[in-house]
Amino acid sequence: MSECGGRGGGSSSDDAEDEGGGGGGPAGSGSLSPAPAASSEGRLRRGLRGASLMARRRPELLCGAVALGCALLLALKFTCSRAKDVIIPAKPPVSFFSSRSPVLDLFQGQLDYAEHIRQDSEVVLLFFYAPWCGQSIAARAEIEQVASQLSDQVLFVAVNCWWNQGKCRKQKHFFYFPVIYLYHRSFGPIEYKGPMSAVYIEKFVRRVMKPLLYIPSQSELLDFLSNYEPGVLGYFEFSGSPQPPGYLTFFTSALHSLKKDYLGTVRFGVITNKHLAKLVSLVHSGSVYLHRHFNTSLVFPREVISYTAENIYKWALENRETLLRWLRPHGGKSLLLNNELKKGPALFVFIPFNPLAESHPLIDEITEVALEYNNCHGDQVVERLLQHLRRVDAPVFKSLAPEPPAQLPDPPLITESPCCNTVVLPQWHSISRTHNVCELCVNQTAGGLRPRSVSMPQCSFFEMAAALDSFYLKEQTFYHVASDSIECRNFLSFYSPFSYYTACCRTINRGVTGFIDSEQDVFETPTIAFSSLEKKCEVDTPSSVPHIEENRYLFPELDVDSTSFIGLSCRTNKTLNIYLLDSNLFWLYAERLGAPSAARVKGFAAIVDVKEESHYVLDPKQALMKFTLESFIQNFSVLYSPLKRHLIGSDSAQFPSQRLITEVTTDTFWEVVLQKQDVLLLYYAQWCGFCPALNHVFIQLARLLPVDTFTVARIDVSQNDLPWEFMVDRLPTVLFFPCNRKDLSVKYPEDLPITLPNLLRFILHHSDPASAPQNSVNPPTKECLQREAVLQQGHISHLEREIQKLRAEISALQQAQGQVEARLSSTRRDEQQLRRRQHTLERQHSLLQRHSEQLQALHEQKSRQLEEVARQLQELADASENLLTENTWLKILVATMEQKLEGRDGAEGRAPPDEARSDYRKPSGAPRLPASTPPPSNVSSTLASERSTENRTD
């Protein structure tokens, strides 16, 4: 189409120029060498003149030409119209919602009609969609579900904003679909950006319908203030007028908060009771109160800031205090989690959340944990709110007005009740299966050194934690205890609020008694024994060590003093930020953090510390409740945290077992590396470019070494986490774990090339059986030695066969080397010949280049000569033209003279002959004739000269 239009326009413009340029013909005709365009224009003009003459002579030919031109135009138009119709027009839209749906579907994009009916409704929800959008299709059922609940109060309108002929497509330019707008009377639009779930949409619509929460009683006031979300209260007296001054402004500010924050983190409430208003220090009608749990609560300064809806919301948003924060990732790329994790360690709590539920007991418990954790100064208002959350009948209070922070209370007196905890020390030797178990009791007297059964702790958590910190610094005292007696010592602690504590330790055998299920069984049945060194290199999987929080978990009915947890955020450098996530929507994040994928109850908690590059997981076997969260936070906050870093690894099922090189994962590291006899472990990563170059070396090594006594393994550290003591700082790295001496693992030298001979020397050097501990209890028998000799003979024969194979490979390689050398020699000869040819060609090239320069100089000389000859020819042509002009005039003069001479000759012929002869015979010295009759001799000589000149000119 563009080509057709472009060509037609060009021809018409050319015709116009031709017609306009006809008047300038004389100016153009003066040029000696007209341009081709001028000649074509002349031909066109001549053709037009000929056509006009033909039309005058034969009009029937003109009619035929016109008919032919019309036919050509019709054919051209038909061709262009067919080019237009290549793109099939869009099909007319169809209804997106069913006819029985409570949602009004404007599937033709009638935005003007939607604006018209919006004026007649109080609350309107506009759902802008695209019929092809999968998210719009998924949200359709959610919108219908919400409309079925609220259609009697809210008008639900769906608008197709993709139909190209609809006004919505022409006026709205959305970058994504679907888009939900809500209008409350004339206020709006309020865009909803939350999850496309029916319960969340309905909750948001109800907040828009009723942005203010009416608070009629003290109990509901406590519910409002104890909520984890910041609250803004407005006091208005409705007795004097139906709408007191400032109420509509406060109402609009609540709508502004929903417009700016779709999560609705700031809650707005209204108090009409004067006595309730005094509890929050509101006296005058129209005053606004912002509640904060730990900082001083504020009253809107009307004398400083103008009382407008926008200013009220901005004031509340700038001065709010966030106790807990909901995280709702939108599912695309964002920096939401990254920005929050940069603030410090974070506690992520995943709970199943129903926004439409009237009460949330689990959230109340989490709120109670957050209030106690941040209540550093023992604020009375916070204590009253905690009592309300615990559903404890509190006395009627007089005021919740902002009070100055209370002074720190005196440290509590040291309790006289026993505070004991059982500690299991590490193995005294790597080959031993015994453990030292110590009982720590705070504030024991000298007479209390006798061992006694363990009682449940009756002291605060931090008293016990301080004792543990001090004991860990001095644990070497009991590190090598290996006797059947119980040793007890007293330790002084100068940095703790108590003076001393007692530690009673003894040795138990894990192999005989298994592992303890409770501290009570440990001290009732003490066992002292050393496990004999077995022949196989096997190490039991480490089981969990009992921590302080397990006592409270096993005996939750005990009334344990919780004062140690109150204000914990101010007494530790590892302050936590608490975040809530809906497990119904974001359970995938929990699974990536370590939650079981097949959990029946979707409750999970994890602490992520980006600075330490680690995260900790609350035991999924424990119920997610208040005291488990408190214990989890306490164990994270202590200096020597008993929490174990959660390790993330790849699935071991994806690696087949029948391989020369064993693939190690996080789950199989203990089983493969620390339980096999001799293990050579390669640390690699997918992004490491040098690691794949070592594969053939380790494959050859695995073929040479016996499988039943040696394991060649590797681990992808980019996909599998390991304890810090087993991590490396560079890739690739090779570690050797010898049998019976796993604690004496050796790193392959970095300056030594990783080759097969070097690896074999490294393994044989560090796996010397003479360096291994000998079993003195059961000396080897003769049969055992014979079997060992047969086994060694088999290994020797295996190695000899491998050596023969290597020799055959070496001979084949030598033959191949000879062939390669022969080819290299022939290649070198060819290369020398090519070099000689190259030198010859270079010399020829230089000669040709000099010859080319000479030819160029000769060409320039001849060019100059030709220019000179052309100049001379031009001068000769100019002279010839001048001579032609003169010759023409001479011819005219000669013709005139001849005519005159002919006339005179005729006159003389009529004269007498005698006279003529007498005149002829007169001598030259005779007197001249008159001027009118020149002498004939002069005339004849003149004529002869003119004729000779004419002949010479010709």
Which 3-state string (H, E, C) describes 237-254? CCCCCCCCCCHHHHHHHH
Q: Which of 305-309, 404-408, 684-688 has the lowest mean pLDDT?
A: 404-408
In this structure, what token pair is assigned to residue 619? 């035991």
In this structure, what token pair is assigned to residue 894? 């000669």
Kind and range of the H or E element at 632?
A: helix 626-637
**Is residue 516 classed as helix, strand or coil in its secondary structure?**
coil
Average pLDDT over residues 281-286: 84
- DSSP character for 89? P
Q: What pLDDT sits at residue 867?
A: 93
Of 27-36, 384-393, 681-690, 852-861, which one has max mean pLDDT?
852-861
Average pLDDT over residues 374-385: 80
Phi, psi at 316, each rounded to 5°: -70, -40
Secondary structure of 314-325 as H, E, C letters: HHHHHHCCCCCE
Give Cα 393 to chain centroid, integer Å.
52
pLDDT, one tens digit per residue, over 441-451 is 765 443 333 33
Q: What pLDDT sits at residue 263?
A: 75
Q: How many residues does the chain have?
A: 954
**Is residue 444 classed as helix, strand or coil in its secondary structure?**
coil
**Percent of residues, the chain, with pLDDT higher than 90:** 21
Question: Cα-atom radius of gyration of the chain, to the nearest Å?
Answer: 55
Nearest to 353 by CA among 140, 203, 145: 203
Q: What pLDDT sits at residue 769?
A: 57
pLDDT, one tens digit per residue, over 538-588 is 444 444 333 343 444 433 433 444 457 888 888 888 888 999 999 888 888
- DSSP character for 826? H
Q: Are 123 and 209 in contact (CB under 8 A)?
A: yes
Q: How many CB atoms lie within 10 A of CB 877?
A: 10
Beta bridge partners of 500: 492
Average pLDDT over residues 719-738: 86
Q: Are 121 and 105 in contact (CB under 8 A)?
A: no
Q: What pLDDT sits at residue 824?
A: 93
Nearest to 373 by CA among 639, 641, 643, 633: 633
**Is residue 682 classed as helix, strand or coil in its secondary structure?**
strand
Q: Are 472 and 640 in contact (CB under 8 A)?
A: yes
**Is residue 410 classed as helix, strand or coil in its secondary structure?**
coil
Average pLDDT over residues 855-869: 93
Q: What pLDDT sits at residue 631?
A: 86
In this structure, what token pair is assigned to residue 480? 């090598």
Q: Are 607 and 576 in contact (CB under 8 A)?
A: yes
Of 62-66, 469-473, 910-914, which one has max mean pLDDT?
62-66
Q: What pLDDT sits at residue 579?
A: 92
953 or 858: which carries more pLDDT confidence?
858
DSSP assignments along 317-385, one per residue: HHH---SSEE----SSS-SHHHHHHTTS-EEEEEE---TT-S--HHHHHHHHHHHHHH--S--HHHHHH
Q: What pLDDT sits at residue 858?
A: 94
Average pLDDT score, the chain: 74
CA dist 691 and 734 (Å) reads 11
- Dihedral, CA of residue 763, residue 767, residue 768 and residue 774, to nearest 10: 180
Kind and range of the H or E element at 858?
A: helix 782-910
- Residue position matching structure tokens 């690696």: 655
Residues 6+ apart with CB under 8 A from 484: 506, 507, 526, 528
- DSSP character for 115? H
pLDDT classification of 510: cutoffs 50, 70, 90? very low
Q: What pLDDT sits at residue 51?
A: 57
pTM for this prediction: 0.58
**Is residue 210 classed as helix, strand or coil in its secondary structure?**
coil
Is the pLDDT at 760 greater than 50? The verdict is yes
In this structure, what token pair is assigned to residue 478? 């009991």
pLDDT classification of 426: cutoffs 50, 70, 90? low
pLDDT, one tens digit per residue, over 461-487 is 556 666 666 666 555 555 444 455 566
Nearest to 136 by CA among 160, 167, 165, 110: 160
In this structure, what token pair is assigned to residue 341? 């994790």
Q: Which of 191-205, 346-360, 440-454, 705-719 has the lowest mean pLDDT?
A: 440-454
Q: Are 126 and 159 in contact (CB under 8 A)?
A: yes
CA dist 269 and 254 (Å) reads 9
> What single letter denotes the amino acid at residue 238?
F
pLDDT classification of 953: cutoffs 50, 70, 90? very low
Q: What pLDDT sits at residue 743?
A: 76
Is the pLDDT at 759 greater than 70? The verdict is yes
935 or 871: which carries more pLDDT confidence?
871
Is the pLDDT at 839 greater than 90? The verdict is yes
pLDDT, one tens digit per residue, over 612-623 is 888 898 888 888
Beta bridge partners of 533: none
DSSP assignments along 752-766, one per residue: S---HHHHHHHHHHH
Bond prior to 732 in cis (omega within 30° of 0): yes
**Is residue 580 classed as helix, strand or coil in its secondary structure?**
strand
Q: How many CB atoms lie within 10 A of CB 461?
A: 25
**Is residue 474 classed as helix, strand or coil in its secondary structure?**
coil
Q: Which of 71-80, 273-282, 368-377, 496-505 has the lowest mean pLDDT?
A: 496-505
Is the pLDDT at 944 greater than 80? The verdict is no
pLDDT classification of 454: cutoffs 50, 70, 90? very low
CA dist 847 and 840 (Å) reads 11
Q: What pLDDT sits at residue 404?
A: 43
Average pLDDT over residues 42-58: 59
pLDDT, one tens digit per residue, over 777-801 is 456 677 777 777 888 888 888 888 8
Q: What pLDDT sits at residue 559?
A: 40
Tell how strand 487-492 and strand 123-129 pair up. unpaired
Nearest to 179 by CA among 164, 206, 201: 201
Q: What pLDDT sits at residue 821?
A: 93
**Is residue 742 classed as helix, strand or coil in its secondary structure?**
helix
Average pLDDT over residues 400-404: 49
Q: What pLDDT sits at residue 447?
A: 37
In this structure, what token pair is assigned to residue 77? 């138009």
Of 42-46, 725-729, 883-887, which one has max mean pLDDT?
883-887
CA dist 880 and 885 (Å) reads 9
On the 0-12 / 13-18 / 19+ scale of CB atoms within 10 A, 861 is exposed
CA dist 76 and 11 (Å) reads 15
Query: Residues 866, 867, 868, 870: is their CA dihedral positive or negative?
Result: positive
Long-range pairs, 794-802, Cβ under 8 A, ≥24: 795/706, 798/706, 799/704, 802/703, 802/704
Is the pLDDT at 514 greater than 80? The verdict is no
Number of H helices, E strands in the chain: 27, 24
pLDDT classification of 139: cutoffs 50, 70, 90? very high
> What single letter denotes the amino acid at residue 168?
C
Q: What pLDDT sits at residue 911?
A: 56
Residues 6+ apart with CB under 8 A from 628: 549, 553, 618, 622
